[in-house]
Structure 1
């Protein structure tokens, strides 16, 4: 299994988790309204060439929403989830 540690992109006040490759979602480890740690596995994608990629991102926070389910086809750049970054909380105080 290939471990893909991705950078997120900010959209408004949330971070986007996007697919890095073409493939099919094999596992969804992320659940809405749950806290995740930096580099925690969120998804497993089976790529077109048959390899599996474990997707993790370099932020911690709360998963706001998940936009894929097992069996969904994904393409590079497709939004799979939104995360509210922990750093946003510290900016408010």
Structure 2
């Protein structure tokens, strides 16, 4: 498996995590209200070619909202979740 670190976009005092690839969500390791640490595995996406990509968070924070569920089809740039940074 290859790992990808996502460098999220800014959203107020938080960050937006987007999909770096086109594929299907196979695993979500976080839930709304849960704490995440920098470099933590948050989502796994299976590409159409069968490779599984691991999406890691780039910040410490609290998950504000998860926008996908297991089985959802995503394309590059789709929002996966929102993280509020812990100050």
Does TM, normalized by the shorter one, top 0.5?
A: yes
Corresponding residue SS for 2:49: coil
Which residue of 2 is the match for residue 66 of structure 1? 66
Number of aligned positions between the proteins: 87
Task: Tell me the distance in 2 between the aligned counterparts of 1:82 and 1:58.
Answer: 12
Q: Secondary structure at the match of 2:32?
A: coil
Q: What CA deviation, in whole Å up to 9, does each residue of 1:20-63 have, x standing for no partner? A: 00000000111110110001000000001110001002101000
Question: Radius of gyration: which is bigger?
Answer: 1
- TM-score normalized with structure 1 length: 0.89
Greater fraction of residues in helix: 1
TM norm structure 2: 0.95
What runs of 5+ residues in structure 2 fail to find an aligned partner? none
**Superposed displacement of residue 14, structure 1:** 2.2
Cα distance in structure 1, aligned partners of 2:57 and 2:29 = 13
- The answer on 1:29 being equivalent to 2:29 is yes
Q: Distance in 2 between matches of 1:22 and 1:63?
A: 23
Q: Which aligned runs of 4 or more in structure 1 are off by greater than 4 angstroms?
A: none
Q: CA RMSD in A?
A: 0.8
